[in-house]
Every structure is written in structure tokens, then in C-alpha cells.
Structure 1
Amino acid sequence: MKGIENLLAEVVAAQVNIQKKISEITSNRLKEQQQQLGDLFVEASKDLVLAIDINSRQGWCMTGQMVPVEYMNLAFTPSSTSERDRMFDEYFAEEFLEYELDEILEHCHENWNEVLSQSVDQIKIGKYHSIIPTLIIYLEYCVSSLLDSTEINSRLMRDFNRSLDDIARNKSVYELKTIDKARISVLYALSDVYYISNDFNNKRLPDLNRHWILHGRDNPQLWSMRDVKKLISVLSCLTFILSKA
């Protein structure tokens, strides 16, 4: 009997040892998988920030309704800026554009509800030329509201840059929250497209320019539905930010 007891004890000890080794292997594999997932998350965050840089500086912001993977594809797939514009134009098809417009209307300030409702109605029937100045004015309203700023033009952009200083200084790429990325997206679009300085004696830039429009220097015949879609992407992104503020 004693021999059997010793044998059973050895079997139990062996099983415990095997289980311990299995646990160690499993634990190591889990750590490796967690590390791999962490690395993938960091790379995905870097890719998204890079996509925001590419797309937003061309006037296409990342809205709250866009799928990040699709937004990244729109940044990395095209071989030229014109091709990227075309792909975004197609992405903002009638159904998606209406969804973005409805989001803007739903969350706009009550003071702007009537004028934006009329603007949306005009966009939906293709009569967009007359409402572009209105959207530009509303864009400035959203930015000033976000920053609680009384400044305009370059001074408003200065305040926007300062508001992002802490984000850029204190956070690594993968620590950026969605709201941070949205703010960066808007800043790039404003500083590189809508608020970019261009003397009135210079040649007109390809995209809409806030200064040229509001000071009567632009040619409305050059405005397109694509310009409207770009503006809507910025306004939708601002709407998302303001709704979370």
C-alpha cells in the first residue's frame, strides 16, 4: 500500500509540475500577445494621425461618422491629391452627405437652426453657391465657440494653436483621445486651407479661402459641390467636438 501511495504522490506531483509549466507557457504567450496587440495599437494610432495630417491639410476632416479604417484608406490609397479629392467626393455620396448634414443640424446652436436648415435644403437640391459664405461664417462661429474666443482671422488661429499646445507637449501619439485627433484634424484644415494667408494680388488658390470669400475677392463661378463637401467635413468634425465639450 505504501508503494502505491508513493506512486500516487509522484503522479500528483508530476501533474502539478506539468500544470505549472503549462501555466507558465500560457502566461508567456499571453504576455507576447498583449505586447503584439499593444504594438499594433500604437502603429494603428500612428497611421490614423498620419492620415489626419494628409487628409485634413487637403481640407477633408475626420468626422464622427467616418470609419477610421476607411479614412486611412482615403489617405494612403490615392497616388495624388486630385485622386484623393475624387475618392472623398465619391465617399461623400448623397446618402452619407445627408447623414452628415443631419448631424450638423441636430447639434447646431438654436440661433443657427433656421439659416442652416435653409442652407441644407439648398445643398440637397444642388443650389449651393449662395450658401457657401453662410457656411464659412458658421465655421468661424463654431471655432470661436469652441475656443471661447473673441478673436478673428490669424489671431483666432493663434488661439487654436495654443489650445493644442498641451496636447502635443504632454501626450504621445497612442495616448491621443478621439476628441484630440478631431481637434488636430480641424486645425490642419483651417491653417492649410480655409485660413491660409494669400494676398489679394496673388493667384487664387485651388480651395475655398475664408478671407477671399468674406472680403469679396473670390469668384463664385469657381465654387463646386466638392468644395461644399469639404466644408461639411470640417463643420461635422467641429460639431462632433462641440457635442463632447
Structure 2
Amino acid sequence: MKDPFEEIKKISSEMNRLVRESMSPMVQFDTRINEIRNILSEPTRVFRRLALNLPDYIKDPEKRDSLTKDIINYVSSKGWTFSEIIPFRVLIDPELLKLNADDLDSFFLELYAEGVYEGVKEHTIDKISIKHKPLLEEVFFNIDHEKYKIAIPSLILIIEGEISEITENNAMGWNLVNDWRLRLEQNDMREVDEFLYAKTLALTNFLSEHLFTSNKFWYERKPFVNRNWVMHGRDDSELWTVTEVYKLINFLETIVEIKQKLRLRSIIISS
């Protein structure tokens, strides 16, 4: 997919190179300063060109917002929810709407390999409930050592625990997630932060329809890993995939971000 901000990415890469080289005593100081000055002047020229060449769906706020919501809903329905760690360019790329589920899996796994994983790892460990932190650290330790299957039940446990903190609800499984979804329609989140609302609604829809959905143990196994089947020992762990692990990590990152924003909003309102 064509990235309209490719030039900016190249500039960032060049800046990183200059910083690394600046540590070398072999490079003359005045040479480094001139190179850095030239690089710093380039973003302005690039942004001007981008402003002229940006498509209408990005220039027009209403079209851009509508596109972003469509992307959030479509991509989340395939199991990839959004947080601020996901690059903004993803939220305004209409090409995503043309990708099928397998292509989206490949796209997001590549994003994670390019650096999103490290950002999510750092953020979730830092912001997760203290009672889940030791377990989450072991989850990432195992993932870093390519031991993925042990992460599935642990991540489901943590996800459910974090949702219960957001909702302050003692319900379990599907009932917990469905209660969260119903509450979204009753509060004013949409008016306060429409994109947080869109991310949250898309997340709860996928969780209630897939991860937490009811599926009797004598029914056929569903394509996506199921909370009840895993936690009650009915699922076949041979069928658990690396992609599902990263989707669960991604869910958790979205949930943690939502929790943090809701807490901040509560502090602001009460102060």
C-alpha cells in the first residue's frame, strides 16, 4: 500500500543516522551541524508538498472522520482493534477496506514486527493493573522466546480482569462484555470523544461476538479462540495460533488505553 508519509519516514530515519554518527569523534562538528540543519529544514518542504497533494478524503475533516470510523469498524470486525500506538496513517488508509481477513492479519503482524510490539509491551506492562503485572511480564517473556501457546489463557484472564475494572462489574465472560457494550449506549462517551467511543464499541462487538461468545462444548469449534473453551479446558491447544496471540495483545492494549482515558476523564470531571 502506498504510504503518503513515506518521505517523512525517510527523514526520521536520516535523523536517527545523524544522531548515531554524532557520537563518532571522526566526524567534524561543523559538518554534523550543517547536515542536521539541512535535514531539519526538509520536513517543512515535505509537508507543503503533502498538503498540496493530499487526497480530498484527508483534507476534508468530515470525509476523513467518516473514513476513520469505517476503518475502525471494518478492521476491528476482523480482530484488529485500535489504540494510539497504531500509526495514525493506518487510520486514514482507505486501502485497508479492500483487504480480506488474511491480508489484514499479515498487515498488522508486519506492523508489530516493525516496532508496534515493543511499544505495546512497554505500555501495557506499565499501565496494567498491579495484580496482573507479574503474569503479563511472564507472558511477554514467553512470547519473546517464541513460546506462544502459554500466552493464550493468560491473556484471556488478564483481558477479562481489566474489563471488570473498567465496568466495576462482578459478571463473568460474555455477560461482562455485553454489559460494557450496553453501557456505551447509555453514557455520553460519544459526545465527549467520538473516536474513543468508536474504538470501544468496535472492540466490545468483536469480543462479545467471538472471544466471549457462547458456544456449547458439544458444538463445532469456532474459528477464533473462545474464552469458555480455553478456560474450561475444552479447546485443543494445537489449534491456537501466533496471530491469535497478537490479536489478544492488541485487544489488551486497546483496553488499557480505554481504561486510562476513562480514569483521566473522571479525574478532570471531579476536579
Q: TM-score range by the shorter chain?
A: 0.7 to 0.9
Distance 2:58 2:118 in 1: 37
Distance 1:242 1:85 in 2: 25
- Deviation, 1:97, is 1.1
Aligned to 1:62: 82
- Deviation, 1:182, is 2.7
TM, length-normalised to structure 1:
0.76
Higher relative CO (Cα under 8 Å, sequence separation at least 6) belongs to 1
What SS is found at the alignment partner of 1:232? helix
The range that moved more, 51-60 or 137-146, is 51-60
Aligned to 1:190: 207
- Seen in structure 2, the aligned counterparts of structure 1 residues 104 and 41 have a Cα distance that, compared at 3 Å, is same
Distance 2:58 2:117 in 1: 35
Which of 156, 163, 172 pairs up with 1:136? 156
Q: Is the 8 A contact 1:133 1:214 kept in 2?
A: yes
Structure 2 portions without partners, runs of 5+: 1-55, 264-271
Distance 1:221 1:202 in 2: 18
Cα deviations across residues 13-60 of structure 1 (Å, max 9, x unaligned)?
Answer: xxxxxxxxxxxxxxxxxxxxxxx9999222222212211211112211
Higher alpha-carbon Rg:
1
What SS is found at the alignment partner of 1:48? helix
Aligned to 2:15: none
Which of 230, 238, 242 pairs up with 1:221? 238
Distance 1:89 1:170 in 2: 30
- Deviation, 1:145, is 0.6
- Deviation, 1:106, is 0.8
Cα deviations across residues 149-177 of structure 1 (Å, max 9, x unaligned)?
Answer: 11112321231122111368975xxx743
Equivalent residues, number: 206
- Seen in structure 2, the aligned counterparts of structure 1 residues 51 and 170 have a Cα distance that, compared at 3 Å, is closer
Which of 86, 97, 122 pairs up with 1:76? 97
Distance 2:184 2:230 in 1: 27
- C-alpha root-mean-square deviation of aligned residues, in Å? 2.5
- Deviation, 1:185, is 2.9
- The amino acid that maps onto 1:67 is P
Aligned to 2:116: 96
Distance 2:244 2:226 in 1: 10
TM, length-normalised to structure 2:
0.69
- Seen in structure 2, the aligned counterparts of structure 1 residues 37 and 93 have a Cα distance that, compared at 3 Å, is closer
- Seen in structure 2, the aligned counterparts of structure 1 residues 243 and 41 have a Cα distance that, compared at 3 Å, is same
- Deviation, 1:124, is 1.0
Q: Is the 8 A contact 1:189 1:234 kept in 2?
A: no
> Is residue 128 of structure 2 the alignment partner of residue 108 of structure 1?
yes
Aligned to 1:164: 184
- Seen in structure 2, the aligned counterparts of structure 1 residues 232 and 157 have a Cα distance that, compared at 3 Å, is same
- The amino acid that maps onto 1:166 is Q
> Is residue 173 of structure 2 the alignment partner of residue 153 of structure 1?
yes
Aligned to 1:199: 216
- Seen in structure 2, the aligned counterparts of structure 1 residues 88 and 37 have a Cα distance that, compared at 3 Å, is closer
